[in-house]
Amino acid sequence: HEDADFLVVDKPPLLPCHPGGRFFEHSLWFLLRERHEFLHIATRLDRETSGLVLVCLNKGSARRVSLLQRERRLKKRYLALVHGSFPDRLEAEGFLGPDAASAVRKKRRFIPSSACSGEAGTGLESCATSFTRLMAAEGLAFPGRGEKTGPFSLVEALPLSGRTHQIRASLSSLGFPLVGDKLYGLDEALFLRFAEGSLSPEDGERLILPYQALHCEALEFEDGEGCPLSFHAPLPAAWPAVLPK
């Protein structure tokens, strides 16, 4: 979608939203900057996360979207493919903070409110995500990668807050890591080898997908006239075709 105020882009996996480190020209910001003088990426996704991104094209629309986000009137729906048999429904309310047990400095952990015991005042960020299981499978056929043994679950994630790594860290801490997630997946040593450029073919078999199975499938908000807008993006081709779109 494109109008005078907004772009809504279906970002592929493995494309960063912003330039950083070794990624500059290979970024969504750089590609869009060739066509637009003003850009504000309002709903940023991780490099490996696919799906809908909302981009503001002027300062007025950026202010409006910022207000919608503060008032929680900008809704996002994610689909996540996870390891394990996920419960029917789970409300993950609590806090995010550094994972002191991790060798990776940027890794975070989710602490449920019931387990916090006064920790909330020690630099942790409050967060809340509503999870619903959409499908469960003991095995799935991944295009080009054959049949993989599960159990797997397809989960809907509705974030009620917008914290860094919120969905990934919450799912990992709850015991249902994302398929393909190097940092929050089955073994963070995969991330360390990835950072060194030394992932093996065996590592690729464990990961199953070359990127984390997290996709922003739907985005809803009101434009400057108060008219509701709703957008949807199909799953990437590497996800199993049997999953509901």
Q: Are 28 and 9 in contact (CB under 8 A)?
A: yes
pLDDT digits over 46-85, tens only? 999 999 999 999 999 999 999 998 888 999 999 999 999 9
pLDDT digits over 98-122, tens only? 998 999 999 999 999 887 765 455 6
Considering the entire predicted model, what is its pTM?
0.92
The owner of tokens 């093996």 is 200
Point out the catalytic residue in the list 5, 10, 46, 203. 46
In angstroms, the CA 14 to CA 83 distance is: 21
pLDDT digits over 165-216, tens only? 999 999 999 999 999 999 999 999 999 999 999 999 999 999 999 999 999 9
From residue 203, alpha-carbon distances to 31, 80, 128, 188, 243 in Å are 31, 21, 32, 11, 24
pLDDT digits over 3-46, tens only? 999 999 999 999 999 877 665 678 999 899 888 889 999 999 99
Helix (H, G, I), strand (E, B) or coil at 74: coil
Go through 20-43 and write b for each residue having 16 or more CB atoms within 10 A of its CB, e for each that does not.
Answer: eeebeeebbbeebeeeeeebbbbb
Active site residue 46: yes
